[in-house]
Amino acid sequence: MTDANLTSWIEVPEGHDFPLANLPFGIFSTADRAARPGMRLGDHVIDLSALHAAGLLDGLGLSNDVLSAPVLNPLMRLGKPVTVALRERVQTLFAAQAELRDHEGVHSACLVPFEEVTMHMPVEVGDYTDFYSSEDHARNVGKMFRDPENALLPNWKHMPVGYHGRASSIVVSGTPLRRPMGQTRPDPEAPPVFGPSRLLDFELEMAFVTFDGKPLGERITTAEAENHIFGLVLFNDWSARDIQKWEYVPLGPFLGKNFGSSISPWIVTLEALDHLRVAGPQQDPKVLDYLKYGGDSHYDVPLEVEIIPEGASSGQIVCRSNFRHMYWNMRQQLAHHTVNGCNLRAGDMMASGTISGPEKGSFGSMLEISWRGTEPVAMPDGSERKFVQDGDTVVMRAPFFGEVSGTISPAV
């Protein structure tokens, strides 16, 4: 069910990110429950293993091994028909007039207050691809570093450009990250130097997680793509701009990116986002046949970024953007990724690239917000930010997704 107005017998405050219409998947643990799959409903986590043990998930083809695994990969390997049926069964169990409401002994074992849980990486990420699919972001960067009249490279409007990143350093929200060390060349007339990045940045992104794809050598069309997409997370693709600038020619990002990326802990399914579908931009020039698609395949998801200085309880909102600003959508990204026969595995992650809107205030990175450091942003404590400083916590938020946060500790 995708009705955004569904109500539950569990009290869910109005405007909560996790109503019954959402029910995202994640991995949680408590003092007496090992890490396992759960679903978020308001201020509770639904223990899927406990539901299964109570016989409430019979007939869905699920096993205790799948529902007690410390990652969601075994569940995703069962495919979209199973995860859709599971989500719909749980919606039925917790709908306003469901019989489970009156069986307190059963549902008390299946519901865990959120304040008691620890969240974990929801998937074991096998491969990670980062796209570059926001036209406003690509134009801003092109204006800064190339001819402003030719900000987009010749290939940009013909295919969703991407690169393969590092999967092992993707971490769940709340995991601290250390400022990276590497080579930079601050003086173009002098040799490079080694030291901590001085231009550390965030990148506001979203990422989708895949089911298994087709066998090696076969491609996925735009019409088939959503059958292979499990759901989405908020994604902070941390970036060391100065390290990246020196290293990226000719092979692209390396140490400037692979020190860490942060994701929100809950994977929101495509089905939960159906009511947020919107039309995409007019793509000009016309795309090649394998990138053509039908229907609304972009999503109206408001996004914001806050920087909180060390020791402060709140900070400054530095960006308000929206996922609908993407030029290339997920169906096109997946079709392009596999058009050469590349195979997918359950748990692969594909990020959107920085999501920037057309106006100031909607730019998705400090590189753009401070316009390469020339326009500092004032913080409530009187300090300024051109880029992210040690001790800063960066928090990204979106309705239905909650948040992803990460704090930067000094280099050593």
Residues labelled as active-site residues:
137
Residue 158 backbone class (left: φ over 0; alpha: ψ -120 to 50; beta: rest) = alpha
Distances (CA, A) of 253 to 162, 203, 258: 11, 14, 8
Q: Name the nearest CA neighbour of 231 among 80, 45, 18.
A: 80
Structure tokens belonging to residue 84: 């859709």
Is there a contact between 405 and 262 (Cβ–Cβ < 8 Å)? yes
Does a cis peptide bond (omega within 30 degrees of 0) precede residue 250?
A: yes
Long-range contacts of 372-375 (CB under 8 A, 24+ apart): 372/144, 373/199
DSSP line for 86-143: HHHHHHHHHBTT-GGGG-HHHHHHHEEEGGG-EEE-SS----EEEE---HHHHHHHHH
Structure tokens belonging to residue 210: 């895949």
Structure tokens belonging to residue 290: 């394998």
Which residue has 């959503």 as its token pair?
226
- Other Cβ atoms less than 10 A from the Cβ of 103: the count is 13
Is there a contact between 154 and 161 (Cβ–Cβ < 8 Å)? no
Cα(269)–Cα(10) distance, integer angstroms: 21
Structure tokens belonging to residue 184: 């930079």
Is residue 181 within a helix (H) or strand (E), and if so which, with residue range? strand 181-184
Cα(95)–Cα(1) distance, integer angstroms: 11
